[in-house]
Amino acid sequence: MIKRTILCVGLWLAAGLASAAEAGKVIFVAGDARADARPLVMGAAVNEGELLSTGTDGYVYIKTLDDGLFILRPKTQARIAAYRVDRVNPANTRVKLELLSGVARTQSGNAVKLARQNFRFNTPVAAIGVRGTDFTVFTDDQTSSVAVLSGGITISGFTGACAREGSGPCEGAASRELSASQKGQMLQIRRGQGAAQLVTGGATPDVVAPPRPDEPLAKAAASSAPEPYIAPQKVAVLQEQVKAPPVTVPQQPQPQNPQPQQPGENPGDSAPVQQPEPEAPVTQPDTPTVPVDPRPPVVVNPDPAGPAKPDPSVPAQPARALTWGRFAAIADRPVQVDLVQQLEQGNTLITQKGDYALLRTDGEFVMPQRGSVGFQLQESEAFIYSGKEGVQPVQATLENGQLRFDFDKRKFSTSFDLVNAAERFNMYASGSVAGDGRFSVDSQFAVGNNMVVDGVLGGRNADSAAYLFQGRLSEDRRVFGATSWGKAPGQ
């Protein structure tokens, strides 16, 4: 009788504790989105520990076990490390999310609201806790930025007692808080920092990877306990989709969106030795507080003479121009480009890596459809960063640069020698070209790539190009840099 009673109690407790395997279900997916190697479809289960990834056109909305939301935007890698919901005893609930790179948004579910002390959102450089919250995060390997839509968060770097392996928020002298009432502000933290910095303006996570027009809205700030919210007209449809068995459905048309539609990425679970760090769409800048370099940012001027013959009755439009530069000081080098000013002028942010940003104007541009064209390196800059504390970045130079586009196949390849004192590293990458002129590596782990590249073609007839790159040189050293290119003679 006693054994039977113990067994019944055990089964009753187990029923209150949600399955450790399943963390949620997909309620919307567009473009390339995967859990490990399997493509995600509407209604599919998402399990603890799976590597979630989206390609350059990928979006996925996941409804968690406690009716929260976890949204991944393009070129993002994340993992639901743990989602243990105990409805009988909320103190036993454990939730841990990990954003490896890219942009993600999370809305707290019902269980998280009852056990905020057991919620943790990790990035490569910081731990985030919640106060009943809806927030977005951008991260790469060096920098994380967070903006709050409702509620509040606390963030701390992985220093002192704040350990990556821990659970719950890190609350100490280095922790910093941000609430939805601080509109237009975000907290930004870099690797090795204990305390985040409050940044006003700049490229927020929504600028780095804009939301789709149908992404669920945040609840009004007046709500003291924000809950996961989806526009009422979509609730019934989404609920039916969650109940339906996992099946492959036709992909919904993509609304107009600043994010370009490009071939998807399918990153693997881990990077081979000597492969680059996870690609970062962009790095968030601190508001510059140092004098701006009197030298202007690098502007790739298009060739005024091109094969295009505009209609004389239509006023000629300026050709697309490209601009890149550093938005933060490095070593003794001052800021090169005011990123906030560039965005206010209406220029489009293509990507950020390390302390570099690449932008383009909205001038006239004609994408070639045929042929193979070679480009020669015109200008470049790169710095090597050490993971050791107190070691300053070291400038490196680029030699033997090559960049070639195969417009028939919509492919590109590039290489150069990275030179620093007595060291020389051969860097190389290849990938795909989109219809709007942007190009990037197809997979950061593909054979034939040892760096991550994101760039764009410029000029009236794609006669110029620029890209930012990052790569791992050794276990504790990484390189970030920028390049600009012009068509090789005779091309």
Q: What is the average pLDDT across 188-202?
A: 88
Contact 343, 203 (CB under 8 A): yes
Backbone dihedral region of 182: left (phi > 0), alpha (psi from -120 to 50 degrees) or beta? beta
pLDDT one-digit tens code per residue, 437-486? 999 987 655 677 899 899 999 999 999 999 999 988 987 888 999 999 99
Q: What is the average pLDDT across 430-438?
A: 92
How high is the mean pLDDT of the chain? 79
At 51, phi and psi to the nearest 5? Answer: -80, 115
- DSSP assignments along 56-103, one per residue: TT-EEEEEETTS-EEEE-SS-EEEEEEEE-BSS-GGG-EEEEEEEEEE
d(CA 238, CA 151): 25
Picking from 187, 115, 181, the residue whose alpha carbon sits closest to that of residue 155 is: 187
- Note the pLDDT of residue 14: 43
Residue 221 above 70 pLDDT?
Answer: no
Q: What is the average pLDDT across 174-183?
A: 88
Cβ atoms < 10 Å from Cβ of 68: 24
Q: What is the average pLDDT across 292-298?
A: 54
Picking from 176, 139, 137, the residue whose alpha carbon sits closest to that of residue 159 is: 176
- Note the pLDDT of residue 352: 82
Tally of helices (H runs) and strands (E runs) in the chain: 5, 29
Chain centroid to CA 443: how far? 14
Range ranked top by mean pLDDT from 131-135, 392-396, 479-483: 479-483
Lowest mean pLDDT among 160-164, 262-266, 327-331: 262-266
- Note the pLDDT of residue 428: 94
| Strand order across the 356-360 sheet | 298-300, 322-326, 356-360, 348-353
Q: What is the average pLDDT across 136-151?
A: 94
Lowest mean pLDDT among 4-13, 154-163, 324-333, 474-483: 4-13
Q: What is the average pLDDT across 349-371?
A: 89
- DSSP assignments along 299-316, one per residue: EEPPPS--S----TTSPP
- Note the pLDDT of residue 320: 92
* Eight-class DSSP state of 416: E
Residue 277 above 50 pLDDT?
Answer: no
Residue 265 above 70 pLDDT?
Answer: no
The secondary structure element, H or E, covering residue 106 is strand 94-107
Q: What is the average pLDDT across 237-261?
A: 43
- Note the pLDDT of residue 446: 66
C-alpha distances (whole Å) from 250 to each of 31, 41, 62, 247, 253 are 11, 10, 18, 10, 9
Q: What is the average pLDDT across 347-372?
A: 89
Residue 190 above 80 pLDDT?
Answer: yes
Lowest mean pLDDT among 30-39, 96-105, 236-245: 236-245
The secondary structure element, H or E, covering residue 248 is none
Contact 395, 329 (CB under 8 A): no
At 111, phi and psi to the nearest 5? Answer: -70, -35
Q: Provide the whole-model pTM.
A: 0.47
Picking from 55, 54, 53, 45, the residue whose alpha carbon sits closest to that of residue 83 is: 45
How wide is the angle at C-alpha 110 spanned by C-alphas 106 and 115, nearest 5°? 90
